[in-house]
Structure 1
Amino acid sequence: MQLVKVGLCAFGMSGKIFHAPFLKEHPGFFMAAVVERSKEDSKEKYPDAVIYRSVEEMLESADIELVVVNTPVQTHFEYTKKALEAGKNVIVEKPFTVNLAEAEELSRLAEEKGLFLSVYQNRRFDRDYLQVQKIINEGKLGNIKEVEIRFDRFRTQPSGKAHKENPDAVGSGSLHDLGSHLVDQGVQYFGFPEKLFADVFSMKGKEFANDYFEIILFYQNDLRLRLKSSVFSKEAHYAYIIHGDRGSFLQERTDNQENELASGVIPEYGKDWTQPLQEPDGILNFLNENQETERIYTSSDPGNYMNYYQQIYEFIVFGYALPSPADEIIKNMKIIDAAMLSAREGRVVEL
């Protein structure tokens, strides 16, 4: 099996949970290098990975062909550009960049260099997202008319992470953080909208970056898609609400991969490694072919973030489709930029 040597730009939460375990367990990857500026936390589980004290040092010295840029969003553009200029393929964490202009420049550079650039949109591999996609594809809801996708939390106190909460740090706040998931899911389900209206602000106060947003996406077929997030949501809502002219579907956000990875669960290659659901997590209510109402309690199949890295490997080795390529995620950045503009000016923005 062809072995792909990978360098990890950081070993914080993202590196420890979302990347390193999968790179270790997938037989086609070898985590050859990792950047830790002062610590050596990676040594215990990944003793074969050479530790570098800066991204620049790793790019100059390490024998790697793929770089994972999993640093704070404010550094994504700088480090991704340096990696591409060093001749390395890149996976960059979401959000892609802090704005559209940076995203477009990186996409052009990757194309000029003949390198691939993929954005780590891991929520495409969540069980709840996949279940909604399945229900939409089955067509039981008829023509989709109204959709709401939410990603709520109850985090009313500051986290102390300046790159996420400092209002003066471009790219900080929930819109770029959780919004990058919701925007991506909306575009994957229904395509690119024609216009939007957004409300984006901080419930904790002006001294913090935005922690609330609501974006209404308008589509040519009169579909209305609402994307919403709040950190003042103690009681959970249905994360996905889909209404069509033949029925409705309600889906909870039940994917638990992040929590299981944080607890130390090993993601086995080629297997569904997450714990099974204990009860149904969705409700499908629709008119069947006999115009009779059917109400079904549904259970989603397991999600698996390993499938992202499997798709990366299959692209490298077999030339299959690249998951979430840069030129595709540029659409998401257009929506995020437009949402910021809409919120500032209080108007509908054409796309």
Structure 2
Amino acid sequence: MTKKLNIAYVGFGKSTNRYHIPFVKTRENIVIKRIVNRTLGKRPEQAELEATGTLFSTDINDIISDETIDLVVIVTPAFAHYDYAKQLLLAGKNVLCDKPLVETLAQAQELVSIAQEKKLFFMPFQNRRFDSDFLTIKKVIDTGYLGDLIDITVNMDHFRPADASQGENFDGAWYGHGVHMVDQMVSLFGKPQEVQYDIRATRDYDSVDDYFSVNLLYPNLRATVAATELAALPHPKWVLYGTRGTFIKNDVDQQENDLKVGLLPGTEGFGQDSPADFGQLTYYNQNGDRIVKTIPTVAGDYARVYDAAYDCLINGAEKLITDEQILTVIEILENGFKK
């Protein structure tokens, strides 16, 4: 019999109900035992979960005192991540925390140290490691079509000219979007030798940042992560240049778009690209022939973060995201606002 992983959520807002629970429901080896939220109503999502045995309350101590809980997933506003993660780790709970994990390297180091000392699982929910477009560019790199990679750029573009907002650095695009893209690059290439920053507010100069173009510099490679909220015509999502070829993937992963229209994981066609959205590869083979190929998109699946947590906690596998990677990402984010 397959061992079940009993999980609890802290937070029951849009992110929990869009990016977490629909994917967990596709995994029979994961059971949602408890959910704690500051306020409780009688939303259909709550009633549906209660009908299958999930317990709801407003007190995090209900999770802490429940010895059957194997993993606690924090999906609250980002400013609360540090306090909840520290409280849960000190109480001996394994923790998976939504992004951005925390604001400062010192906070991340403290939480990682507590987890190490208590031999607990602690990891951020970096679901975009399982974006279909990211998995596709990993495949292209691994096949060697491009030769030695010399330049890679990932863009996250929107056109939201009237959505400027107030807040702190932690509330802007660099922490909100950049955390995913930096993590993707760190997962591929490790810690960069140098980072060059351009982070700005472009819609309202008194608002939080809504634009960034940041270069992560490695030996013989520049990795650029960029985003803007003023792209009426977006950049390609990925552009890769190598010594033998170029790969361009114009469109984003479709999981989020499908979720927004009510298409759920596990249904036919969920998250799939149409052939018109496949990436285009141009390279020169060993004979000097110019080859143009369409590369079908690799299927994405955000539930694979939960699979990785299960394998670590139940089967003793290594963590998907190492402590070194956790600290590297937060250090790069925090340094973006240091003078």
**Which TM-score band applies after superposition, normalised by the shorter structure?**
over 0.9
TM-score (norm 1): 0.89
Larger displacement relative to structure 2 (123-132 or 259-268): 259-268
2:316 is the counterpart of 1:311 = no
Find the partner of 2:265 among 264, 267, 279.
Answer: 267
Which SS does the other structure have where 2:304 is aligned?
helix
8 A Cα contact 2:133 2:253, kept in partner:
yes
Provide Cα deviations, 1:71-103, integer angstroms capped at 9, x if missing partner.
Answer: 111111100011111211000011111111111
Residue identity matched to 1:231: E
Residue identity matched to 1:233: A
Partner of 1:40: 42
Residue identity matched to 1:311: A
8 A Cα contact 1:5 1:66, kept in partner:
yes
Deviation at 1:57, TM superposition (A): 4.6
CA separation in 2, counterparts of 1:305 and 1:256?
A: 11
Partner of 1:59: 64
8 A Cα contact 2:251 2:277, kept in partner:
no
Deviation at 1:55, TM superposition (A): 3.1
Identity of aligned residues (%): 28
Query: Runs ≥4 in structure 1, deviation > 6 angstroms?
Result: none
Deviation at 1:264, TM superposition (A): 3.0
Residue identity matched to 2:6: K
TM-score (norm 2): 0.92
CA separation in 1, counterparts of 2:33 and 2:206?
A: 41
8 A Cα contact 1:107 1:327, kept in partner:
no
Provide Cα deviations, 1:106-159, integer angstroms capped at 9, x if missing partner.
Answer: 000001111100111111101100110111111111111122111111122237
Partner of 1:256: 254
Larger displacement relative to structure 2 (325-334 or 225-234): 325-334
8 A Cα contact 1:128 1:252, kept in partner:
no
Residue identity matched to 2:231: S
Q: How does 1:239-250 map to 2 (within 5 A)?
A: 239-250=237-248
Partner of 1:2: 3
Residue identity matched to 1:44: A
Deviation at 1:256, TM superposition (A): 1.0
CA separation in 1, counterparts of 2:22 and 2:151?
A: 38
Computed over aligned residues only, the root mean square deviation of the Cα atoms, in angstroms, reads 2.0
Deviation at 1:272, TM superposition (A): 7.7
Give the 3 Å change call, closer, same or farther, for CA 280–267 of structure 1 in structure 2: closer
Provide Cα deviations, 1:248-294, integer angstroms capped at 9, x if missing partner.
Answer: 1111233111122233333239x984345242421111111111111
| Number of corresponding residues | 334
Deviation at 1:13, TM superposition (A): 1.4
Which SS does the other structure have where 2:179 is aligned?
helix
CA separation in 1, counterparts of 2:305 and 2:108?
A: 21
CA separation in 2, counterparts of 1:126 and 1:204?
A: 28
Find the partner of 1:90 among 71, 91, 95.
Answer: 95
CA separation in 1, counterparts of 2:216 and 2:273?
A: 34
Deviation at 1:328, TM superposition (A): 2.1
Q: How does 1:1-351 map to 2 (within 5 A)?
A: 1-38=2-39, 39-41=41-43, 42-47=45-50, 48-60=53-65, 63-158=68-163, 165-167=165-167, 169-219=168-218, 221-268=219-266, 273-341=270-338, 345=339
Partner of 1:348: none
8 A Cα contact 1:8 1:35, kept in partner:
yes
Partner of 1:162: none
Larger displacement relative to structure 2 (43-52 or 95-104): 43-52
Give the 3 Å change call, closer, same or farther, for CA 137–152 of structure 1 in structure 2: same
Give the 3 Å change call, closer, same or farther, for CA 318–272 of structure 1 in structure 2: farther
CA separation in 1, counterparts of 2:147 and 2:64?
A: 51
Provide Cα deviations, 1:235-257, integer angstroms capped at 9, x if missing partner.
Answer: 12111111111111111233111
CA separation in 2, counterparts of 1:283 and 1:143?
A: 18
CA separation in 2, counterparts of 1:108 and 1:319?
A: 20
- Structure 1 unaligned blocks of 5 or more: 160-164, 346-351
Residue identity matched to 2:161: T
8 A Cα contact 2:254 2:273, kept in partner:
no
Residue identity matched to 1:64: I
8 A Cα contact 2:157 2:231, kept in partner:
yes
8 A Cα contact 1:200 1:213, kept in partner:
yes
